[in-house]
Chain A
Amino acid sequence: MTDDRTFHPDPNTPPARLDPESMSRPELIRAAADGEAPMNRIENVDRARVEFERSLRAAVDRVSPDAKAPAHLRASIERMFREHSGAGVVTPASGAGTRSRSFWNRSVGLLGVAAVLALCAAVVVMSLRSGPAPFGGHQGAIRTASFIQSESDDCSELNDHFNAKFRARSREEAQRLAQSIFEKVPDALLRTDDALISMGYEFAGFGRCAVPGPGRSGHLIYHPDSNPAEALSLFIQEDVVPIGIDQSCCYRMPLVDTTDNRVLVWREGGFVYYLYSHNPQAIETARSIFHAPKHEAVIR
């Protein structure tokens, strides 16, 4: 009858500090049920109570779902540990960019050309320099991109997983849910999606998600009216720790099984956005809708 999944004393818990001598009778009964007082201190008449406590405890444990942490959550937390361990910590690539902008602002006439040149140079410099890599390195980037890909693919059809995850089924509901998750509505959820709708895509839902890395996250998904495999996903995550990507650039992320970089990531307004679809045309349309930076780089 006894389910001992959780009843062994926690090996990391310090020894009991309770003194049976100073306990009242009810305290002694509970301490005995907790294993902190010996049963020989319990009067015969109270032993049934101790047994009741233990049986109830076992029953409470048994009737509560024995859920395990989902794989994506585990991966996310393990990544958090890596990012905070020092070796995997990445710092923002920002300093030089600030100085460049103030310089170029002096010459309004050259602004357009200069901006393009500066951004191109920044991309080249970022790709060549030996500083901290985005997502803590190639493997970190692959793990995150793979999560984005598989989670989007898993949600491309209206199955049980979809129904459990996407509790908001309209844009209004999505904004309300985003407000409750993030305490503000990300700009991406406020933009008009007419261009996607005219391509045959339909707003399918928005729900909480567990994108690897710290920061709460949500998943917005559009389903095409033809091929379900071409669903389009936008994952939104709070931008709470540096992930080593520059705010002025949109990055293509690496995937394990393909050289076709279909996962895009950028930062804007306190959020990190991950965009994914098998349909390149949908990606380009969505990039424009969600205001992803035009300049892009590839994370190697």
Chain B
Amino acid sequence: MHIPDGLIPYWQAGIYYLIAIVFWAISFKKVSEELSEKQIPLLGILAAGLFAAQYVNYPIPGGTSGHLVGAALAAAFVGPYGAIVAITIVLIIQSTYGDGGITTLGVNTLNMGIVAGFIGYYLYVWLKQVLSRRENAEAIAIGIAGWVSIVIASFICALELAAGGVVPLKTAVIAMVGWHAIIGIGEAVISAAVLIYVKSTAPDLLELPKIGPEKPILGVS
């Protein structure tokens, strides 16, 4: 889902940069203020792990491939602002590999960090409450949240491609959402597997404070 340099008009990339700058300012400030000593290595491991997971693509039927985005998973550990920071670090390093881009760092952060991070986090927290009586409620919640976060991020990406005149709107939405609905299954499985593993080996990592907006969103905090 990494939009490369030069695909969308620069003026449009600039608008997405402005949106991203607002979230970067809030996220980096909140994270630097609220990140605990134990969460510093956790953030580092999340960023390093997401980089590795995004480096290797898994095959998808139909001649395409996908990789973990991991914003929902990162948010489950460090909250949505922490996820934005982790994804931003990954995107910056990836741009030095020619993956994604410099001019599109803003739009890629918007899609994979802000949209996927916030939707993934709040859906995960809400589902965890709803499914609290079920065994492995957290794993089911992160699986669903991961899938939904990818599909919605791909929908936003399709709107951006259409707004930039790259692909017609209907085609962009059908293709992007269609492919990512399949790719998102991998996101769901990997996210759930990681959460199950962490819960069985180091459950305290899931109980650390989450860094997000102070006020609840739609009753979920």
A-B complex is real: no
* B residues lining the A interface (CB < 8 Å): none
Query: Which residues of A does B touch, CB under 8 Å?
Result: none
